[in-house]
Structure 1
Amino acid sequence: MDLITPSFGLIFWQLVFFLLLVIVLGKFAWKPILASLAEREQSIEDAIELAKKTRAEMAQLKADNDKAKAEAIIERDAILKQARQTAEKMIATAKNEAAQEAKAEIEKARKSFRDEQAAAVAKLKGETAKIAIEIAEKVLRRELADKAAQETLVSEWLKDAKLN
């Protein structure tokens, strides 16, 4: 059983070496290890904080983007509505102008027709009067060749004419 139970000297020296190891490690190794652990912990906390800030910024950017998108859609709809209204006004104005021009052209054509008709009627009246006078001259020359025929013709005209 000597192998299983250690002697007092072995335990003493093991305890001395262990304490010496703890002192040396505490003096030289634990401070850098704890410092690197603290630094690592701080960098992890900074990374987590940065991730939270980035997530919040991304959410804000997404909200701003959605808001800008909604505003752009509203503005686009307003521009399209205004463009439709402007196009409708332009079409209505063009139709009115075309109708007015057509009325003016029709009235101009009617006036021109009336003027030409009046000129033709006047010319026709003049020609008719000229022909009537020529015929009357010829008839009167032939019928009024003697004095008795003239008197008979005048008396017939007087009978036909109604005196008021």
Structure 2
Amino acid sequence: MDLLSPDFGLLFWTVVIFLLTFLILKKFAWKPILKTLDDREKGIADSIASAEKIKAEMSHLKAEHEHVLAEAKAERSRILKEAKEMKDQIVGEAREQAKAEARRIIEDAQGAINNQKMAALTEVKNQVGHLVIEVAEKVLRRELSDQSAQQQYIRELTKDIELN
């Protein structure tokens, strides 16, 4: 039972040693410990403030990034639209040039065809004229008095003529 009810002397010396240890710790260790705790608390507070500041800055940068991205998308859309319009314009111009060239070629071909047609008609007229002259010459040389004999002679002559 001595352990459950300590002696007054033991109790006195325990209190004295406790107070002495408390005073020594208060004088030499308490201030550095409190200072270290205060410094640590300030460091943690500064870290939290810095983290909040970085978080706000990151949020701002994210918003700015989204804005720049939206501008880039708008610029890309504008460039694609301009490119499409330019392509359509170039294709339209090329189509018009091709149509104009085709019209010119057709007109040139029609002119050449007309020239050849006229040349062929002139050639045919010349040949017919020569044939007529030859027939007339042969009819006049023969000087037949009978009309039916002249027509018979013309038929014979036309059978002999070869058209080229």
2:124 corresponds in structure 1 to 124
1:70 corresponds in structure 2 to 70
What is the aligned-residue RMSD (CA, Å)?
2.4
1:104 corresponds in structure 2 to 104
CA shift, 1:12, in A, is: 5.5
CA distances 1:85-137 after superposition (whole Å, capped 9, x unpaired): 01111111111011111101110110000000011111111111111111111
Is the deviation greater in 43-52 or in 14-23?
A: 14-23
1:87 corresponds in structure 2 to 87
Q: What one-letter code is carried by the residue in structure 2 that aligns with 1:36? A: T
> Is 1:39 matched up with 2:31?
no
Q: Distance in 2 between matches of 1:78 and 1:10?
A: 93
1:142 corresponds in structure 2 to 142
Q: Distance in 2 between matches of 1:6 and 1:104?
A: 133
CA shift, 1:20, in A, is: 2.3
Q: Distance in 2 between matches of 1:10 and 1:106?
A: 132
> Is 1:114 matched up with 2:114?
yes
In structure 2, relative to structure 1, the CA distance for the partners of 1:90 and 1:81 (3 Å cut) is same
Q: Distance in 2 between matches of 1:4 and 1:11?
A: 10
CA distances 1:61-103 after superposition (whole Å, capped 9, x unpaired): 1101110111011111101111110111111111101111110
1:26 corresponds in structure 2 to 26
2:149 corresponds in structure 1 to none
Q: What one-letter code is carried by the residue in structure 2 that aligns with 1:46? A: D
Q: Is there any run of 5+ residues in structure 1 with no aligned partner, and where?
A: 150-164
SS for the counterpart of 2:85 is: helix
Q: What one-letter code is carried by the residue in structure 1 that aligns with 2:75? A: E
Across the two proteins, how many residue pairs are aligned to each other?
A: 144
Q: Distance in 2 between matches of 1:100 and 1:17?
A: 117
Segments of 4+ moved more than 6 angstroms: none
Q: What one-letter code is carried by the residue in structure 2 that aligns with 1:88? A: D
CA shift, 1:16, in A, is: 3.9
Higher relative contact order (CA 8 A, sep 6+): 2
Could you tell me the TM-score, scaled by structure 2's length? 0.78
1:54 corresponds in structure 2 to 54
CA shift, 1:17, in A, is: 3.1
Identity of paired residues, percent? 44
Q: Is there any run of 5+ residues in structure 2 with no aligned partner, and where?
A: 147-164
